[in-house]
């Protein structure tokens, strides 16, 4: 398996904690986010999404933010529309991205997962740059955490059905999974 290591901008969210003792990271969860819904950042570090993950969102800035007052949420990484990647939480730590969740009979997916947000919505296509960055980031994560296999990559909708719908119908799972499988099958 070969992956082009992505360039990552480190941001330091206050919204994380330690994983349970001796927990094996074994799940990758794909999400989407935009604030307000359907609006995308021109400058990611000055965006509402960044402010949310940094614990600095002004919940009076838009009517749709009222329900976010007091919410403490984070993801390990966000992949912006231009393909750039911000890392908010170290992979070894527990980000607060999954909420009430279940994968393969295990609850509390935050305990054993890595969460990646794509800037987007359920119904708008993601960019080629986002797929490229997501594929490279996934391959890097799989090298770091070999318990994450293609079968242990899920959407937020898969681990919280009925509560969450992301990454949505616009996410091309076949494109993503085929690229991962192709990279895994390449000789070193």
Strands 153-155 vs 27-33: parallel, antiparallel or unpaired: parallel
* Tokens representing residue 120 in the block: 């987007």
Three-state SS for 6? coil
Following DSSP, what letter does each residue of 63-127 receive, concatenated?
A: GGGGGGTT-----SEEE-TTS-EEE-S-TTEEES---S-EETTEE-GGGGEEEEEEES-TTSPPP
Q: What is the pLDDT along the chain (188 residues), one digit of tens a residue?
A: 555 667 899 999 999 999 999 999 999 999 999 999 999 999 999 999 999 999 999 999 999 999 999 999 999 999 999 999 999 999 999 999 999 999 999 999 999 999 999 999 999 999 999 999 999 999 999 999 999 999 999 999 999 999 999 999 999 999 999 999 999 988 76
Q: CA-to-CA distance for 107 and 102, rounded, in angstroms?
A: 4
| 117 given a catalytic annotation | yes
Output b/e per residue, 101-139; b: 16+ Cβ within 10 A.
bebeeeeebbbbbbbbbbbbbeeeebbeebbebbbbbbb
Q: At 31, phi and psi to the nearest 5?
A: -125, 175
Q: How many CA atoms lie within 13 A of 116 on its CB side?
A: 25
| Residues listed for the chain | 188
Which residue in the list 10, 23, 107, 117 is annotated as catalytic? Answer: 117
Three-state SS for 186? coil
The helix/strand count (H/E) of the chain reads as: 4, 10
Instruction: Return the pLDDT at 1.
Output: 52
């Amino acid at each position: 398996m070969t992956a082009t290591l992505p360039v990552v901008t480190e941001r330091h969210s206050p919204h994380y904690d330690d994983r349970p003792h001796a927990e094996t990271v074994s799940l990758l969860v794909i999400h989407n986010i935009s604030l307000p819904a359907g609006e995308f950042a021109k400058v990611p570090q000055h965006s509402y999404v960044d402010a949310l993950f940094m614990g600095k969102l002004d919940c009076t800035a838009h009517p749709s933010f009222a329900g976010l007052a007091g919410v403490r949420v984070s993801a390990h990484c966000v992949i912006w529309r231009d393909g750039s990647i911000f890392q908010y939480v170290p992979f070894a730590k527990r980000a607060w991205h999954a909420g009430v969740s279940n994968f393969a009979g295990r609850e509390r997916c935050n305990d054993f997962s890595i969460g990646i947000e794509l800037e987007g919505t359920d119904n708008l296509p993601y960019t080629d740059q986002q797929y490229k960055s997501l594929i490279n980031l996934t391959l890097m994560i799989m090298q770091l955490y070999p318990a994450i296999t293609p079968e242990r990559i899920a959407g937020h909708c898969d681990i919280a059905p009925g509560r969450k719908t992301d990454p949505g119908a616009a996410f091309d799972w076949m494109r993503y999974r085929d690229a991962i499988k192709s990279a895994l099958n390449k000789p070193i």
